[in-house]
Chains A and B, each alone.
Chain A
Amino acid sequence: MIRNKRIAVAFVAVSLGAATAACSSGNKQEAATSGTSAVPATTAARTGTTVATGIEVTDAWARTSPMNAKNGAVYMKLTSAGEDRLVGASVAPTIAAKVELHETVMADMSGSSTTMGMGADTSTTMGMMAENTSSTMGMGSSMNEGEGAGGSTMQMKPVDAIELPAGKTVELKPGGLHVMLIDLTKPLETGSSFELTLRFEKAGTKTVTVTVKEG
């Protein structure tokens, strides 16, 4: 108990970014659409006749694969004018043997979800924490329950589909949703690019160019 009391984790403006988006397992919808903003109607209108099923893909990139890396990941921003689902993806066999949709999630292996019970001696701090939590931490505040963040592990899992709510930009980004390239045929080199074909439930397929960068 004494030892527990000694543990104060000072969080000073850590941007938890993607990690926090992925940390609430079982809350995929939220993770998938976090950090998004509604696409202005005018943007959708500009796509003309494809409004109903128009898919916009921007910033598609993959990290330069480290030497000896078997797998890679592709990230991008996806916006569908109409509600749709990304259900699959493929690349040429010269890039990778297999492609899967994956999500990295935070899993709490310690099983404890609440550790906020503090003794009376720390009530002052407690109030301070609550205030700061609401103002600066947002959803990140749940990340380090348990033993700092050590009780939580990050884990990848395949997903059947990535939901694309109408007009919302869904970001595939490090620590969250990504297109996983399995068994890379050759290393992904900085500055190169390759084609990735995305398969949507309603909109059909769309091929995008993925830029390889250090990231």
Chain B
Amino acid sequence: MVMFSAACDRGPTRSGRNGRRSLAAIVLVTVFVVSCGGTARQNGSIGGSSTTATEAANRLSGIVRQQPLDVFDVSVTDARTGQTMPVAPPAGELRLVYFGYTSCPDVCPTTLADVRRALRTLPADESGKVSLLFVSVDPERDTAEILDGYVSSFVTPNYLVRLEDPDALAQLESRFGARSELGPRHEDGSYEVAHTALLYAVDPAGKVVVEWPFGTPSDAIASDLKILFSQLT
């Protein structure tokens, strides 16, 4: 289902663990861009030069890792069509990725509503180039049909991923530094799912170029998307 090419599979990355964060850390950004710039992909990568990347990172509201997670080699199966597809979007487009579940009444719909609002504020030529990849962290209850109705209520076009194998789900999550865990069953059989509540943007080169924490205002997401589009080369 999730396919990793041998050459690129680094397994569950722990690059984020104990990672440092800073607030507009210009000094740090500059240093790291110089030291890591050589790893940038050639085609479609955001930030063609270290200067551009630095400027972009400084202007984005979301979280920017200096060594962006790379999911270029990751493919998934769309639960709606059964088609295998890369996580990375086609050239010139951006793809949002979110791990959530449809029984979630608070965090997931809030984030998806924020995305909907953000996309509405973008000009059509940009919003039309943004798609959403929704990965269910609750495949037991989230059938393809339920996912379709739920996600499509917020954002289209969308792609739906439903991995019944918990290991495959964990592996996909790990590529984004995400995780999820099923909570205890209640008397009525229902349960909640704890999950990473970040929204990711992936560029055509497969770089996770920004991560938005839950609660990021929709106008900040919209503004970041505009910046990301301006950086697509």
Q: Which residues of A contact B (CB under 8 A)?
A: 3-20, 63, 65-73, 102, 104, 107, 109-110, 112, 115-116, 118, 122, 124-125, 128-129, 132-133, 136-137, 143-157, 174-175, 178, 180-182, 214-215
**B215 and A20: CB pair below 8 A?**
yes
CB 8 Å contact bits of B3-28 with A (1 = contact, 0 = none): 00000000000111111111111011
Docked-complex contact A8 and B105, CB < 8 angstroms: no
| CB atoms of B105 and A69 under 8 A apart | yes
Interchain CA distance A71-B212 in the complex, whole Å: 24
Top 4 nearest A-B pairs (CB, nearest first) are A147-B16, A7-B19, A150-B177, A67-B149
Q: Mark B57-87, 1 if CB is under 8 A from A, else 0.
A: 1111111111100000000000000000000
* Contact A8:B58 (CB < 8 A) given known A15-B215, A153-B181, A215-B110: no
Write the nearest CB–CB distance from B171 to chain A, whole angstroms: 15
Say which one of B29-37, B88-96, B162-170 lies at the interface with A: B29-37
A169 and B24 alpha carbons, distance in the complex (Å):
34
B154 at the interface (CB under 8 A from A): yes
Residue from B19, B25, B59, B197 within 8 A of A128 (CB atoms): B25
- B16 contacts A6, C-beta separation under 8 Å: no
In the assembled complex, the Cα of A13 lies from the Cα of B107 at a distance in Å of: 21
Minimal beta-carbon separation of A88 from chain B (angstroms): 17
Number of A-B contacts (CB under 8 A): 247
A-B contact pairs, 12 of them (CB 8 A): A3-B67, A4-B15, A7-B65, A8-B25, A9-B20, A9-B63, A10-B60, A11-B21, A12-B24, A107-B194, A155-B192, A181-B105
Q: Does B226 count as interface, using CB distance less than 8 angstroms?
A: no
Find out whether the CB atom of B194 lies under 8 angstroms from the CB atom of A133. no
Closest to A132 in B: B23
Q: Is B213 an interface residue (CB 8 A)?
A: yes
B140 within 8 A of A: no
The residues of B that contact A118 with a CB separation of less than 8 Å are: 20
Q: Which chain B residues border A128 with CB–CB below 8 Å?
A: 22-23, 25, 27
B58:A10 contact, CB within 8 angstroms = yes
0/1 string, B140-154, CB within 8 A of A gives 1: 000001101111111
On whether the beta carbons of A153 and B110 are closer than 8 Å, the reply is no
Interface centre among A10, A104, A182 (most CB of B within 10 A): A10
What residues of B have a CB within 8 angstroms of the CB of A73 in the complex?
A: 105-106, 109
Complex: A151 Cα to B110 Cα, angstroms: 20
* Contact of B17 with A6 in the complex, beta carbons under 8 Å: no
Q: Looking at chain B, what size class is its interface with the partner chain? A: 35 or more
Q: Which residues of B contact A150 (CB under 8 A)?
A: 16, 176-179, 196, 198, 211
Closest residue to B54 on the A side, CB-wise?
A10
The 8 Å CB contact of B64, one of A10, A115, A153, A155, is: A10
Which residues of the other chain, B, contact A153 by a CB distance below 8 angstroms? 179-181, 194-197
Interface centre among A5, A69, A150 (most CB of B within 10 A): A150
List the A side residues contacting B113 at CB < 8 Å: 63, 214-215
Contacts A7-B16, A10-B60 known; list 9 others, CB within 8 Å.
Answer: A8-B29, A11-B21, A11-B23, A112-B18, A147-B15, A148-B21, A157-B192, A175-B215, A215-B113
The verdict on B42 contacting chain A, using a C-beta distance below 8 Å, is no
Complex CA gap A104/B60 in Å reads: 27
- Do residues B106 and A174 form an inter-chain contact, with CB atoms below 8 A? yes
For the complex formed, measure the closest distance between the CB of B151 and the CB atoms of chain A, giving whole angstroms.
8
B211 to nearest A CB, angstroms? Answer: 6
Q: Which residue of chain B is the closest to A155 with respect to CB atoms?
A: B194
Contact A149-B102, Cβ < 8 Å, known A67-B152, A174-B110: no
CA distance A129 to B28 in the complex (A): 11
Minimum CB distance partner of A18 in chain B:
B215
